Amino acid sequence: MYRILMAIDGDEHSERVTEETITIAKGLNAEVTVLHVTGEYDVKNRISVHMSDDYWAQIKKNMQEEADKIVNKAAEKLKENGVKAETKVLIGKQSPADGICKMADRGDFNLLIVGSHRLKGVREMFLGSVSNKVAHCTVKNVLIVK
Amino acid sequence: MQRILIATDGSDHAEKVIDKGLVLAEALNAEVAIITVVGEYVFSPRVSMQFTNDNWKQINQHLKEEAEELVAKAAKPFKEKGLSVETKVVIGHQAPADAICEVASEGNYDLVIVGSRGLRGVKEMFLGSVSNKVAHLGCTSVMIVK
């Protein structure tokens, strides 16, 4: 079975990434794992020292809910189009690229699909920082959707 | 992903790129073009200074023949699968990545498939210089075959 890992960050471009993944997954009769990586890296250290444990718990819960929404929405779209899909959310201290790489290397995936225009991309010159890092670190075949 | 541009340089790794490209093209029933880029950039200035115009003509002719042979060979398995395939040879001063992007943009290709390393790749740490540059130029979606 051909297995695809699709990593999305939930921005507008994620829809395009999902559409391209549908095309490819249907063609290859592939199974898709929808991945979203989020975590504490999103909160600046300077801010985080002022937060209580309760507040952190609340934030993590919000992150989880937000992440679930993102992957479920994409998975539903895949399923609507007849593509077998499962979801995975990683929440932790790692960067999105590291999380994606770890997941891609651990699972038995034939192809990793990411978008090139990411939320963090505004800081980058052209190619999003995440897709750039992922292209370098993972041993899998990588498709970068523009 | 109806139109796919597959870049090859005749290296061992390029065969893997062709294999992956074939799987994807067949699955998507895509129109394929095989491209190779050769040119004067392969000679260092110190070497090329010593060439006469006749030498140049001869070398270019030789490069062209070799390149045409290369893409024709790469196109063969696509033809055998009954896919629409054409071949492109670009000879000139520009870098391979620039030429690949130019052809991809002008030909309205949906996807470029490149290898992560090739003939020039030994010099690179991990991701080949050409694939890296193609990914950065952002002309189209890119699949990097590792």
Q: Are A129 and A138 in contact (CB under 8 A)?
A: no
Domain that holds residue B42: 3-145
Share the mean pLDDT of chain B: 83
CATH number at residue B105: 3.40.50.620
Q: Which residue has the tokens 């225009």?
A: A117
Q: Is the CB of A142 less than 8 angstroms away from the CB of B144?
A: yes
* End-to-end CA, chain A: 26
> Which of B6, B111, B133 to substitute to test the interface with A, most A CBs within 10 Å?
B111
- With CA atoms as reference, the chain B residue closest to A113 would be B143
Contact A146, A117 (CB under 8 A): yes
pLDDT score for A61:
86
**Span A20-46, mean pLDDT?**
84
Bridge-based pairing state of the strands B85-92 and B31-39? parallel
CA distance, residue B120 to nearest chain A CA (Å): 17
Q: Are A141 and B143 in contact (CB < 8 Å)?
A: yes
Read off the pLDDT of residues B33-74 as tens digits, 9 standing for 90 and up. 999 988 655 566 666 667 777 877 887 888 889 999 999 999
The pLDDT tens digits of the residues spanning A77-120 come to: 999 999 999 999 998 777 788 888 888 888 889 999 988 764 44
Task: Report which of residues A28 and A46 the model is more confident about.
Answer: A28
Q: Is B21 on the interface with A (CB under 8 A)?
A: no
Name residues whose C-beta falls within 8 Å of residue A16's C-beta, 6 or more positions apart in sequence: A115, A145
Q: Does position B3 have pLDDT exceeding 80, yes or no?
A: yes
Q: What is the pLDDT of residue B126?
A: 41
A143 to B126: CB separation less than 8 angstroms, yes or no: no
Chain A residues within 8 angstroms (CB to CB) of chain B: 20, 23-24, 27-29, 116, 126-127, 131-132, 135-136, 138-146
Q: What is the pTM assigned to this prediction?
A: 0.79
Mutation test of the interface with chain A: which of B19, B24, B83, choosing the one with the most A Cβ atoms within 10 A?
B24
Cβ of A146 within 8 Å of Cβ of B144? The answer is: no
Alpha-carbon distance B144 to B134, whole Å?
Answer: 10
Out of A20, A126, A136, closest to residue B126 by CB: A136
Tell me which residue in A29, A126, A138 faces B136 most closely, judged by beta carbons.
Answer: A126
Closest CA to B29 of A4, A27, A22: A27
User: What is residue B59's predicted lDDT score, i.e. its pLDDT?
Assistant: 79
Give me the sign of the Cα torsion angle B103, B104, B109, B113. Answer: positive
Which of these, B80, B106, B100, B62, lies nearest to B22 by C-alpha position?
Answer: B80
* Chain A to chain B Cβ contacts (< 8 Å): 62
CATH of domain A3-145: 3.40.50.620
Question: What ipTM does the predicted assembly reach?
Answer: 0.72
Q: How many domains does chain B have?
A: 1
Measured between beta carbons, the chain B residues lying within 8 angstroms of A126 are 136-138
Answer whether B28 touches A (CB < 8 Å).
yes
> Is the sign of the CA dihedral B122, B123, B127, B129 positive or negative?
negative
